[in-house]
């Protein structure tokens, strides 16, 4: 209160969108492609364990990148249509499987290659479910 008068709270406005629709369209394709390339390189580097880069290692990296990119793009398209529980579960399964594959390529035992990614997937599910629970209604529509 200033001078006996109460100021009205200011309305919270979202920040302006500085990118145009063309940029958003390009990002929908570029982000999965770039993440897939990084993931493929990472998997190939884990598999060769610091050894020399071979043709088979390059092929493995590009095939891994291709599979990761296709699955990631599918998750990006399918997940928003699901209810918040299955939405979070799909992302948790994707993150857990992706992490488990990378961890396995580093030469970890089968028990560790399954156990640690299950923990990562459980934490991912909790975080994503909380985010969707606090930002969506029960049907999956964003709450402003």
* 55 plus 31 within the same structural domain: yes
The domain in which residue 144 lies consists of 82-144
- Condensed to tens digits (0 to 9), the pLDDT of residues 71-80 reads 999 999 998 8
Its pTM stands at 0.78
Residue 60 lies in a domain: yes
Q: DSSP 3-state assignment of 136?
A: strand
* 65 plus 114 within the same structural domain: no
- Condensed to tens digits (0 to 9), the pLDDT of residues 103-138 reads 999 888 889 989 999 999 999 999 999 988 887 666
Residue with tokens 């975080």: 127
Residue 6 lies in a domain: no
Instruction: Count the alpha carbons within 13 Å of 127 in the hemisphere toward its beta carbon.
Output: 9
Residue 130 lies in a domain: yes
* 62 plus 108 within the same structural domain: no
User: For all residues of the chain together, what is the average pLDDT?
Assistant: 86
SS3 track for 89-106: HHHHHHHHHHHHHHHHHC
Of 98, 92, 78, the C-alpha closest to 140 is 78
Residue where a domain terminates, one of 81, 104, 120: 81
């Amino acid at each position: 209160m200033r001078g006996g008068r109460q100021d009205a709270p200011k309305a919270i406005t979202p920040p302006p969108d500085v990118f145009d629709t063309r940029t958003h369209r390009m990002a929908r394709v570029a982000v999965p492609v770039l993440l897939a390339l990084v993931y493929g390189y990472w998997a190939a580097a884990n598999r060769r364990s610091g050894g020399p880069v071979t043709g088979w290692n390059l092929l493995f990296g590009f095939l891994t990148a291709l599979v990761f990119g296709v699955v990631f793009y599918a998750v990006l398209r399918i997940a928003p249509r699901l209810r918040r529980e299955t939405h979070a579960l799909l992302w948790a399964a994707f993150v857990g499987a992706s992490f488990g594959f990378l961890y396995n390529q580093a030469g970890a035992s089968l028990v560790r290659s399954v156990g640690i990614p299950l923990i990562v997937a459980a934490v991912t599910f909790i975080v994503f479910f909380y985010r969707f629970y606090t930002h969506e209604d029960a049907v999956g529509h964003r709450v402003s």
